[in-house]
Amino acid sequence: MSKEKEREPLFSAKNLKLLKDPLGENNPITVQVLGICSALAVTAKLKPAVVMAISVVVVLSVSNVIVSIFRKSVPPRIRIIFQLVVIAMMVILVDQVLKAFAFEVSKQLSVFVGLIITNCIIMGRLEAFALANKPWESFLDGLGNAAGYGLILIIVGFFREFLGSGTIFGYHMMEKIGIYNIGYENNGFMILPPMALITVGIIIWVQRSRNKDLIDKS
Amino acid sequence: MKALRKQIDKIKPHFEKGGKFAIFRSLFDAIEVLIFVPDRVTSRGSHIRDGIDMKRVMITVWIALIPAVLFGIYNIGLQYYQSINVDAGFWQMVWFGFLKFLPLLLVSYIVGLGIEIIFAQIRGHEVNEGYFVTGLLIPLIVPVDVPLWQLALAVVFAVIIGKEVFGGTGMNILNPALVARAFLFFSYPKWMSGDLVWIANLVKGEGVPDTFSGATPLAQAALYEVDSMPSVMQMFIGTIPGSVGETSTIAILLGAAILIYTGVGSWKIIVSVFAGGLGMGLLLNAFAVNPYMEIPAYQHFVMGGFAFGAVFMATDPVSGSQTETGKWIYGLLIGILAILIRVLNPAFPEGMMLAILFMNVFAPLIDYYIVQANIRRRLKRAKSN
């Protein structure tokens, strides 16, 4: 890395791009198709989806910063194991906090908090970005990617809970609208995992028809 | 007819590109082609000219389905009047069944064709005949009392997710009619399974004696009540509760004869599905530990949707296997899986739908290996010479 002549402002256009890109045109789920498994598993209800999103934001942004700080002192041969230790530490911390302060949700999420360790997005960002960039940029990159992941989780969770259980955050929305009186029934299929896949697919479809650049050339 | 042709020719320019009603061009095109045969013929190169086109194939399947439709309509009435213990004349039953069946058919066609036309419009191609058969199949494979809005939703799902996302007619990997049924089955199990939904108005239960059970033979078998099942002859004729068009094996066999005679449906698939089912049935008989596993293997053919699925669903040329050897493997596995799911999995009373959908997914893989094996065989021959 060459030394910079001027100090870059904290929120320069380049840095903002790091934060914004993963939310839309470089979204980890809909464009890179990473981290799908947990997106399918925790989105049957909105609340676990939100908690999962927050957990991933914390884990990814903090581990990105830690890895970035040590990027010059860690020998390349052991970098993977080093990254894993950092991620595992963060995941255990998050898991313990959830167990202490949000036990119910923690039980719903069960193994999926622990499985954040294997979430491809996190390893991917550490390898691809944090190892080659300074801590502040890495922090923004981690925040952006995790937020992009969380955004899709929350959208999918919203539709699955609303159409599948008729509630939003456990609040009986459909009942309040009074739609059951005219014969409406909750769609049991929305709660099953296949519908998460199809919902993500529809989001990808909508995104690509709005942004033609994302369509594969073939 | 000539006057009509003249009239259509007169207004045609309005519907072409740049015309006044250009946005309705696919709708216009669909109607024109429906009334008259399309006037487009290939002009270059050498071709074998034949009258067979997609429309004729679809019409043939449609004709093959008519016996099942007519019997289904009669059976709706028959089952209803039996359930409320009323003696009714033949025409009274048919009329009741017709009134019950018509809304299902209308919802299926109006919603399905509506979406087809919208997609044809957006993508700028003509409306395909693909939905013509699917639209008739869907009301035949649902319980008579399924709420119409649920049916409409299932049709929307089947046409968009089952077909249009893959590129429309001819590109789908799953049979759209079965996608609609699977959607209903998993979304609204209350309306798609149990003992109440197979006979019209039984859910409301008005005038039905307390002792009456609307259970299908499959449900009875699953509960090991083999003795109370209707006789094989009765199930063969089809006077039993079940989805609208699936009950009568005779009507389905009539349709199968038409499909096989005209060559529209592959006899290899039909035969191999039955063979697979028979084999699996015999295997279960040999290791029977409960009354369901003991019922004669051939009896599975007349229960539930086995025959209907084998004749009208598995033979779908788009989602099924394309290679001739592949058709045997594809059909055999459908038969085996259907009976396996039906008898050994208590969560699903009927296995035909899932077996066919499952094998639809694997059909391209089967074809791939058949083609590869053929290539290897011929390469070997070429080398040895």
Residues of A with CB below 8 A from B358's CB?
A: none
Taking one residue from A and the other from B, the number of pairs with CB-CB distance under 8 angstroms is: 21
Q: Which of A183, A184, A187 sits opposite B187 (nearest CB)?
A: A187
Residues of A with CB below 8 A from B150's CB?
A: 185
Cβ–Cβ gap A205/B165 under 8 Å: yes
Q: Tell me the nearest-neighbour CA distance from B109 into chain A, angstroms.
A: 22
Q: Which residues of A fall below an 8 Å CB-CB distance to B? A: 183-185, 187-190, 192, 198, 201, 205
Cα B191 to Cα A100, A209, B311: the distances in Å are 43, 36, 25
The total number of residues shown for chain A amounts to: 218
**Closest residue, chain A, to B189 (C-alpha):** A188
Rounded Cα distance between B69 and B51, Å, is: 27
Cβ–Cβ gap A201/B165 under 8 Å: yes
> Both B58 and B29 in a single domain?
no
Average pLDDT, chain B: 86
Q: Does B59 reside within a domain?
A: yes
Cβ–Cβ gap A188/B189 under 8 Å: yes
Average pLDDT, chain A: 84
- Per-residue confidence (pLDDT) for residue B38, from 0 to 100: 63
Residues of B with CB below 8 A from A187's CB?
A: 153, 187-188
Q: State what percent of residues in chain B have pLDDT above 70.
A: 94
Q: Does B258 reside within a domain?
A: yes
pLDDT at A213 over 80: no
Rounded Cα distance between B222 and B290, Å, is: 10
Rounded Cα distance between B194 and A41, Å, is: 29
Q: Does B139 reside within a domain?
A: yes
> Both B109 and B29 in a single domain?
no
Q: Are B301 and B249 in contact (CB under 8 A)?
A: yes
Cα B276 to Cα A202, B131, B152, B267, B339: the distances in Å are 37, 29, 34, 14, 9
Which residue range is the domain that position B352 belongs to? Answer: 54-373
Q: Are B268 and B325 in contact (CB under 8 A)?
A: no
Cβ–Cβ gap B186/A189 under 8 Å: yes
Print burial letters for A56-94: b (CB count within 10 Å at least 16), e (below 16). bbbbbbbbbbbbbebbeeeeeeebeebbeebbeebbeeb
Cβ–Cβ gap B190/A187 under 8 Å: no
Rounded Cα distance between B246 and B68, Å, is: 7
Tokens matching residue A124: 């991917």
φ and ψ at residue A182, rounded to 5 degrees: -95, 15
CB atoms inside a 10 Å sphere around CB B85: 10
- Per-residue confidence (pLDDT) for residue B327, from 0 to 100: 93
Q: ipTM of the predicted structure?
A: 0.81
Q: Are B337 and B357 in contact (CB under 8 A)?
A: no
Q: Does B378 reside within a domain?
A: no
Alpha-carbon torsion B216, B219, B225, B227, what sign?
Answer: positive
Q: Which of B161, B165, B188 sits opposite A185 (nearest CB)?
A: B188
Q: Which of B129, B142, B41 is nearest to B318 (CA)?
A: B129
Rounded Cα distance between B203 and B200, Å, is: 8
Q: Does B309 reside within a domain?
A: yes
Q: Which of B110, B159, B132 is nearest to B57 (CA)?
A: B132
Residue range B134-157, pLDDT digits in tens: 999 999 999 998 899 999 999 999
Rounded Cα distance between B165 and B161, Å, is: 6
pLDDT at A11 over 90: no
- Per-residue confidence (pLDDT) for residue B17, from 0 to 100: 67
> Both B23 and B62 in a single domain?
no
B287 touches chain A (CB under 8 A): no
B167 touches chain A (CB under 8 A): no
> Both B19 and B87 in a single domain?
no
Q: Does B43 reside within a domain?
A: no
| Strand, helix or coil for residue B281 | helix
Q: Are A161 and A168 in contact (CB under 8 A)?
A: yes
Cβ–Cβ gap A190/B149 under 8 Å: no
Cβ–Cβ gap A183/B161 under 8 Å: no
Q: Does B20 reside within a domain?
A: yes
The per-residue DSSP string of B153-180 comes to: HHHHHHHHHHTGGGTSTT--SS-HHHHH
Q: Which of B213, B85, B93, B214 is nearest to B145 (CA)?
A: B214
Cβ–Cβ gap B161/A198 under 8 Å: yes
Q: Tell me the nearest-neighbour CA distance from A209 into chain B, angstroms.
A: 12
Q: Does B385 reside within a domain?
A: no
Q: Which helix (H) or strand (E) holds B332?
A: helix B324-344
More confident residue, B23 or B94: B94
Q: Are B357 and B175 in contact (CB under 8 A)?
A: yes
Cβ–Cβ gap B186/A205 under 8 Å: no
Tokens matching residue B324: 């001739």
Cβ–Cβ gap A189/B183 under 8 Å: yes
End-to-end CA distance of chain A: 37
Q: Which of B193, B211, B204 is nearest to B85 (CA)?
A: B211
> Both B142 and B77 in a single domain?
yes
Query: Mean pLDDT across the stretch A148-160?
Result: 90
**Closest residue, chain A, to B182 (C-alpha):** A189
Residue range B228-285, pLDDT digits in tens: 788 888 888 888 888 888 889 999 999 999 999 988 888 999 999 999 999 999 999 8
CB atoms inside a 10 Å sphere around CB B110: 13
Cα A134 to Cα A1, A12, A68: the distances in Å are 10, 14, 6
- Per-residue confidence (pLDDT) for residue B40, from 0 to 100: 64
> Both B135 and B166 in a single domain?
yes
CA B62 from chain center: how many Å? 11
CB atoms inside a 10 Å sphere around CB B333: 20
Rounded Cα distance between B331 and A137, Å, is: 58
Cα B302 to Cα B43, B59, B66, B251: the distances in Å are 49, 26, 19, 11
Rounded Cα distance between B248 and B47, Å, is: 42
Cβ–Cβ gap A188/B183 under 8 Å: no
Q: Mutating which of B148, B149, B187 best tests the A interface, going by the most A Cβ atoms within 10 A? A: B187
> Both B192 and B291 in a single domain?
yes
Q: Which of B293, B77, B317 is nearest to B201 (CA)?
A: B77
Q: Which of B117, B195, B120, B186 is nearest to B153 (CA)?
A: B186
Fill in the amino acid letter for B296. P
B183 touches chain A (CB under 8 A): yes
Cβ–Cβ gap A205/B161 under 8 Å: no
Residues of A with CB below 8 A from B190's CB?
A: 185
Cα B305 to Cα B151, B223, B235, B300, B338: the distances in Å are 19, 18, 11, 9, 10
Residue range A79-109, pLDDT digits in tens: 889 989 999 999 999 989 988 988 888 887 7
Tokens matching residue A88: 């595992």
Residues of A with CB below 8 A from B188's CB?
A: 185, 187-188
Cα B267 to Cα B147, B157, B305, B327: the distances in Å are 35, 30, 18, 9
B376 touches chain A (CB under 8 A): no
Residue range B290-299, pLDDT digits in tens: 888 888 888 8
Residues of B with CB below 8 A from A192's CB?
A: 186
Residue range A32-66, pLDDT digits in tens: 788 787 778 888 888 888 888 998 899 999 999 99
> Both B30 and B107 in a single domain?
no
Q: Tell me the nearest-neighbour CA distance from B289 into chain A, angstroms.
A: 33
Tokens matching residue B202: 């039984």
Cβ–Cβ gap B187/A205 under 8 Å: no
Q: Is A206 exposed, middle or buried (0-12, 13-18, 19+ CB in 10 A)?
A: exposed
- Per-residue confidence (pLDDT) for residue B22, from 0 to 100: 67
> Both B24 and B82 in a single domain?
no
Residues of B with CB below 8 A from A189's CB?
A: 183, 186-187
To which residue do tokens 């089912």 refer?
B277
> Both B219 and B337 in a single domain?
yes
- Could you give the number of structural domains in chain B? 2
B166 touches chain A (CB under 8 A): no
Residue range B45-66, pLDDT digits in tens: 777 767 677 778 888 899 999 9
B161 touches chain A (CB under 8 A): yes
Q: Mutating which of A163, A165, A189, A208 best tests the B interface, going by the most B Cβ atoms within 10 A? A: A189
pTM for the structure as a whole? 0.85
Cβ–Cβ gap A185/B150 under 8 Å: yes
B82 touches chain A (CB under 8 A): no
> Both B22 and B77 in a single domain?
no
Q: Which of B330, B312, B334, B333 is nearest to B264 (CA)?
A: B312
Cβ–Cβ gap B186/A188 under 8 Å: yes
> Both B308 and B274 in a single domain?
yes
Establish how many alpha carbons lie within 13 A of residue A140's alpha carbon, considering only the half-sphere containing its beta carbon.
16
